[in-house]
Amino acid sequence: MFDYFLQQLIFALAIGAIYGLIALGYTMVYGVMRLINFAHGEFFMLGPYVYTFIFSGLVGLGGLAPVLDSAIAIVASFVIIGLLGVAIERFAYRPLRAYGRLAPMLSALGMSIVLQSAVRVTVGPQPVHFPAIVPSTPVAALGGMVTTVQLGILAAAVLLMVGLTLFVNGTRLGIWIRAASESWTTSSLLGIRVNRAVSLVFFIGPGLGAMAGIMYASYYGIMQPTMGSVIGLKAFTAAILGGIGSIPGAMLGGFLLGAIETFGTAFLPILSGGLIGTEYRDVFAFAVLILVLLFKPAGLLGETVSEETTVAKKDY
């Protein structure tokens, strides 16, 4: 049974890492702008499509070593999707900033539909095979089976998360972001260019989302235009679970949601004697979310509610 537990833990970590990476995008945007970016799931979906486009383009041009080709394609996907995020903020959200919270949120919903339909029309609606970046070889570890892809996902995700934490806490640009999310008005009065912080957040968030998308596609071996919808919602849940607005919260929420889902699937049928099947996994995950919100409305690591944020939350 312990082996079984460890095996499930590995699955939980792999999917949790992906949730966490996407949740970072939701939480950073919310932190700075108090906006729920509903188009975020689509950046996740675009990641593997852009990667495939660039990778096959490179190979078509003669290409370098396969490792180098994928490395270039990965970096390029981050940059391209990041820039797309910046552009969408600039043209679809910023002009609506003066019209309350609802207008940019609706604009985000619209962007989500636009991006998804664009891929469906140009590439086609059917699921497409996505070749794994690292060959998927099973490795026996801790009494269970781990594939190299799962290990790769975990390593890459942890690396990105550590990198982001260092960036936000240790650099000048990171200070902009933290200042803007603490108080928009005060930081602009103190000479911080808040719009630059917003653009930065809209570069990093979608970029991380695209990375998660590439990991996800090489984990499961397929990509399709609708893949961002459900997982976007899950990652949003993870962000709320950890406390929306909090960067460590999003990472924690991601891993926690992955664990709840996986262990729910693994142990619910056993514990309930087959009465509750694996199809109740999502019910279980969302029930946990509701419980957390009931007892800790700001989420697990949510910001302590100060005078100013209460005011901000009221007009939302």
Partner 1 sequence: MTRNRVLLSAALLLASSVLPAMADDIVLGGSAPMSGAQAEFGQSQIDGAQLYFDQLNEKGGIKGNKVVFRPLDDRADPRQGTLVAQQFCDDSAVIGVIGHMNSGVTMPALDIYSECGMPQVVPATNPELMRMGFKTVVRPVANDFVQGALPAKYVTEKLGLKTAVLVHDKTVFGQGIAGVFKDNFEAGGGKVSGTHGTNPEDVDFSALIASIKLENPDVVYMGAGMPQLALFLKQMREQGLKAQFIGPDIGFTVDFITQVGAASAEGALMTFQLPPYDSSPELKDFSERHQARFGRAPGPYASLGFANAQVMAAAVEKAEMLDREGVLAQLHGVTVDTLLGPVAFDENGENTTAPMYLYVVKDGKFELIKQ
Residues of the shown chain interacting with partner 1 in the complex, contacts defined by CB under 8 A: 4, 7-8, 11-12, 15, 125-127, 129, 136, 138, 144-145, 147, 220-222, 224, 227, 230, 261-263, 265-266, 269-270, 274, 277-279, 281-282
Tokens of 259: 């664990």
Question: Toward partner 1, which CB reaches closer, 154 or 192?
Answer: 154
Shortest reach from residue 78's CB to partner 1, in Å: 23
Nearer to partner 1, 104 or 258 (CB): 258
Residue 197 structure tokens: 């912080």
| Nearer to partner 1 (CB atom), residue 76 or residue 151 | 151
Taking the complex as a whole, how short is the minimal distance between the CB of residue 116 and partner 1, in angstroms?
14
Residue type at position 39:
A
Closest C-alpha to 146, from 137, 158, 155, 133? 137
Shortest reach from residue 125's CB to partner 1, in Å: 5
Rounded CA gap, 221 and 238, in Å? Answer: 24
Paired tokens of 313: 């939350």
Angle at 132 between CA 161 and CA 120, to 5 degrees: 90
Closest approach, Cβ 232 to partner 1, in A, equals: 13
Instruction: Kindly tell me which of 39 and 266 has the beta carbon lying closer to partner 1.
Output: 266
The least distance separating partner 1 from the CB of residue 191, rounded to whole angstroms, comes to 47
Q: How far is Cα 143 from Cα 164, in angstroms, rounded to an integer?
A: 33
Q: Which structure tokens are listed for 9?
A: 């833990």
> Which C-beta is closer to partner 1: that of 198 or that of 260?
260
In degrees and rounded to multiples of 5, residue 297 shows phi and psi of: -55, -25
Q: How far is CA 220 from CA 29, 40, 145, 215, 257, in A?
A: 28, 20, 16, 9, 19
Instruction: Report d(CA 63, CA 73) in Å as an integer.
Output: 11
- CB contact set of 251 (below 8 Å; sequence gap of 6+): 20, 23, 24, 161, 242
Contact 135, 148 (CB under 8 A): yes
How far apart CA 47 and CA 133 sit, in angstroms, is 13
The nearer residue to partner 1, 132 or 173, going by C-beta atoms, is 132
Q: How far is the CB of 296 from partner 1 (least distance, A)?
A: 27
Nearer to partner 1, 167 or 263 (CB): 263
- Minimal distance in Å, beta carbon 66 to partner 1? 18
